[in-house]
């Protein structure tokens, strides 16, 4: 039996826990697009997966819940400029090859979408997944339908790093912290865990949302210190 989420309760809860009491129209639109896609295709799946997907979009888009370009720039040129400045200053020490620099065709493979899709090989893989030629036009990864598909399917299938949602959230395991490995190693893993648990608490109308989210966030921090 499929149990449908009470969206009014859900939005009331996340508005208070994650959006400082108020959500903009674009934030509501973005969350709704993810919920709609999930219910249409994965309504029998684990709600913890959906919670972590929402948390990832929340973090990767700087809380806007809209597909964005890396650095939040309004153009590729400006994003490249910002990234080049940061790279030259040594603030991107983990980057060996600047992936954002335009290739021979003038296309940039910098981050775009609800989860920051980078590198040409990933745009090629997601072209197959979405049925959209993202190599010919990388900016199409910022279209909402494409961005939602990349976010959800990519995390379910392990397209980004080889880790997938079922590896960390399953019948035997509930590892909110290391679920970050699905997208980006352990970067800000504790924060993502807390966000995801807050989204998950909001999906259950009988949960004491704020208290449960805060207690689980504290537990995640403890686990992180022991395991990371």
196 and 174 in contact (C-beta within 8 Å)?
Answer: no
Q: Where do the H-state alpha helices sit in 181-208? A: 181-184, 189-202
Quote the CA–CA distance of 81 and 101 in Å, as a whole number: 10
- Where does the pLDDT of residue 208 fall: very low under 50, low under 70, confident under 90, or very high at 90 and above? very low
CA dihedral 185, 189, 195, 197 (to 10 degrees): 100
pLDDT in tens, 30-85: 999 999 999 999 999 999 999 999 999 999 999 999 999 999 999 999 999 999 99
Residues 195-213 have a mean pLDDT of: 75
pLDDT in tens, 149-164: 999 999 999 999 999 9
What is the length of the chain? 228
Query: Burial letters for 26-46: b for 16+ Cβ neighbours within 10 Å, e otherwise?
Result: ebeebbebbbebbeeebeeee
Task: Please give the model's pTM, rounded to 2 decimal places.
Answer: 0.89
Report residue 6: phi and psi, to 5°. -85, 100
Quote the CA–CA distance of 183 and 162 in Å, as a whole number: 9
144 and 28 in contact (C-beta within 8 Å)?
Answer: no
pLDDT in tens, 2-19: 557 899 999 999 999 999
Q: How many CB atoms lie within 10 A of CB 147?
A: 27
Q: What is the pLDDT of residue 209?
A: 47
Mean pLDDT for all residues in the chain: 91
């Amino acid at each position: 039996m499929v149990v449908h989420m009470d969206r009014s309760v859900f939005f009331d809860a996340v508005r208070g826990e994650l959006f400082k009491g108020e959500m903009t129209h674009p934030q509501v639109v973005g969350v709704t697009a993810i919920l709609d896609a999930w219910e249409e295709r994965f309504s029998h799946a684990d709600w913890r997966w959906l919670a972590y997907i929402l948390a990832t979009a929340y973090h990767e888009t700087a809380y806007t819940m809209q597909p964005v370009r890396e650095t939040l720039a309004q153009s590729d040129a400006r994003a490249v400029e910002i990234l080049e400045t940061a790279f030259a200053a040594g603030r991107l020490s983990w980057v060996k090859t600047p992936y954002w620099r335009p290739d021979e065709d003038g296309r940039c493979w910098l981050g775009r979408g609800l989860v920051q899709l980078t590198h040409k090989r990933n745009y090629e893989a997601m072209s197959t997944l979405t049925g959209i030629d993202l190599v010919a036009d990388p900016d199409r990864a910022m279209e909402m339908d494409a961005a939602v598909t990349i976010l959800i399917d990519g995390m379910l299938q392990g397209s980004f790093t080889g880790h997938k949602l079922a590896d960390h959230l399953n019948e035997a395991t509930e590892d909110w912290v290391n679920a970050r490995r699905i997208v980006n190693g352990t970067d800000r893993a504790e924060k993502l865990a807390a966000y995801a648990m807050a989204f998950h608490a909001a999906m259950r109308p009988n949960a004491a949302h704020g208290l449960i989210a805060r207690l689980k966030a504290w537990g995640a921090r403890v686990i992180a210190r022991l395991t990371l």
